[in-house]
Amino acid sequence: MSNIEGTKVLLLEGFARQSMAIMEALHKDGCHITTYNNSKLDLGYLSKYPDQKILAFWDRSNEKKSANALLKVLKAEHYDVTIPMTDFSATLLSKYKDKFEKYTHVAVNDWDVFMQAGDKLNTMIACMEYNIPCPYTLKSAESIDEVLASGIQYPFIIKPRVGYGSIGFHCINNEEDLRKNFDTCVEQFGDMLVQEYIPQTDIQYKCEVFIDGDGEVKSAVVFDKTRWYPIDGGSTCCSTSVDRPDIVENSVKLLKALNWRGYGDVDLIQDPRDHVAKVMEINPRITASVKVCIYSGVDFARQIVEYETGRRVTDYKDYKSGVCLRYMHTDLLWFIESSNRLHANPSWFSWKNTTDQIWNPRDPKPWFGYTLQALAKIRKEKQKRAR
C-alpha cells in the first residue's frame, strides 16, 4: 500500500453527496484536502475534514465561466490531484484535459474514451458487440417516424443519451405517449436513447471497478439498488453490498472493451423475465453511493490518488457483503409513496450494518446544511424528473 500522506487533493463540487465519503477516506489516508464550493452550505464547506475550503463560481449552465474559474484556482495554488464529483465536472475536466493537466493531474479518462462510455448508445452498442447482456436498443432513433418504423414493442423507454439520474426518462406505452414526449425531450435534452422497458420488479445493481494503467483490475464491488426514487425508475436511496461475480465479469469486460482506466461505475438491472443482470449505462464519475464500497473495505479514494500520481495502485481482492447504505432524504419519500413500504427487504425500519450517505456522527454539520439546500430545491428537482 503506497504512502499518500500529504498529497494535495482538490475535490470539486462540495455540494455533491459523494464528497462526504471521499473526504472522510482521504482524511484517513492523510491527504491534504481542499474542497471547491459555491455555497457555505455545501457539504465540502461545512465538513471538518478539509484542510482548506474554497468558495468560487460554479454553474452547470455556464461551462466556459466554470472552467475559467477553476483554472484560476489551479494557477493560484498547486494540487497534485483534482477529482470531479459529478457528470458536469467530469465532462468539463475530460473535455479540456490538456489545459487542466498543465497544473494538476485530473481523475478522468481522455475525451474519446470518456464520451464512448458517457454516451448510453455507445455503451449499448459495445455491449451488443461483445455479447454483454443489455436491453434491446435501437441503434438509430432520430425521429418519431424512425422509432415507429423500427417495430420496437411497447412498452419501451426513452431517455437522454447523455445525462444523469432519471432526468428525461419516460416510459412509452403507446404511440400517443411517443408523440407527446419524444420531440419535447429531444429539444430539451438532445439525442434520445430508445430501448425496451425492463419491468422494475426485480433488483438493480451497480458495479464499481478500478482498472490501472496496465489494464489490471485492482478492485470491484457490487451492490444492489434495493430501493430507488422516483419509484418508477430513479436514483438509489438504499443499497447493500452483494457477492455477484457474474456482474463483475460483465462489467470488467465492458470497461476493458472501451479502454477505460481508473474508477468506473456500471449500472445494471436484473430482468425478471430471464433473471439476467443487464447493463444500463456507465457513469463516468464517482457515484453518490461510493460510501457503501468504502465501508465494505475498498478505498476507491486512495486508488484514485495512487493512480493519478503514478504510484502502485492498492489491490483489494475482496470486500464485505451485507453492508447497507441509505440516502434518507429520498428514502423517506420512497416510504411515503411506495405501496411496499411495510414489506421492504431490508426493512425500512432497520439500521443493522447500515450507514447514511450524508449523516456522519463524527462530522454532523454537513447534514444540516445539505438538508436546508435540499428543501430549497426539491420542487425544482421534482419538476426536472416529472413524467
What residues contact 84, with CB distance under 8 A and at least 6 apart? 12, 13, 90, 92, 93, 106, 107, 108, 285, 286
pLDDT-derived band at 382 (thresholds 50, 70, 90) equals low
Q: For 227-250, what is the mean pLDDT?
A: 90
pLDDT for 172: 93
Q: Which pLDDT belongs to residue 152? A: 93
Mean pLDDT, range 262-268, rounded to an integer: 96
pTM score: 0.90
Q: Band the pLDDT of 384: cuts 50, 70, 90.
A: low
Place 383 in a pLDDT band, splitting at 50, 70 and 90: low
Q: Are 362 and 27 in contact (CB under 8 A)?
A: no
| Whether the predicted pLDDT of 22 surpasses 70 | yes
Separation of alpha carbons 54 and 300, rounded Å? 24
Cell of 186: 429531444
Taking 90 as the threshold, does the pLDDT of residue 162 lie above it? no
Whether residue 166 is predicted with pLDDT greater than 90 in this model: the reply is no
Q: What percent of the chain has pLDDT over 70?
A: 96
Lowest mean pLDDT among 202-211, 214-223, 375-384: 375-384
Question: Tell me: the pLDDT tens digits for 183-192?
Answer: 999 999 999 9
pLDDT at 229: 87
Reference 264, options 204, 319, 307; nearest CA is 307
Higher pLDDT, 385 or 87: 87
> Domain 8-108: what homologous superfamily?
NAD(P)-binding Rossmann-like Domain (3.40.50.720)
d(C-alpha 202, C-alpha 225), whole Å? 10
Average pLDDT value for the chain: 93
107's CB contacts (< 8 A; 6+ apart) are 81, 82, 83, 84, 93, 262, 263, 304, 307, 308
Q: Give yes or no for residue 287 having a pLDDT over 80.
A: yes
pLDDT given for residue 372 in this prediction: 92
**337-349 pLDDT, tens per residue?**
999 899 888 899 9
pLDDT (tens digit per residue) in 110-145: 999 999 888 999 999 999 999 999 999 999 999 999
**Which pLDDT value is given to residue 233?**
67
Lowest mean pLDDT among 156-165, 279-288, 373-382: 373-382
Element of type H or E holding 170:
strand 170-172
Whether the CB-CB separation of 171 and 195 falls below 8 Å is answered with no
Q: Is the pLDDT of residue 309 over 70?
A: yes
Q: How confident is the model at residue 86 (pLDDT cuts 50, 70, 90)?
A: very high
Q: pLDDT over 90 for what percent of the chain?
A: 84
Do 84 and 113 form a contact (C-beta atoms < 8 A)?
no
Tell me, which fold does domain 204-356 have in CATH?
A: D-amino Acid Aminotransferase; Chain A, domain 1 (3.30.470)
Cell numbers that stand for 167 in this block = 432526468
As a whole number of angstroms, the distance between CA 248 and CA 297 comes to 16
Residue 377, pLDDT above cutoff 80: no
**pLDDT of the residue at 374:** 86
Confidence class for position 202, pLDDT limits 50, 70, 90: confident
What phi, psi does 277 have (nearest 5°)? -80, 120
- Domain 136-196, CATH homologous superfamily name and number: ATP-grasp fold, A domain (3.30.1490.20)
Predicted local distance difference test score (pLDDT) of residue 376? 81
pLDDT at 381 over 70: no
Q: Where are the domains of the chain?
A: 8-108, 136-196, 204-356
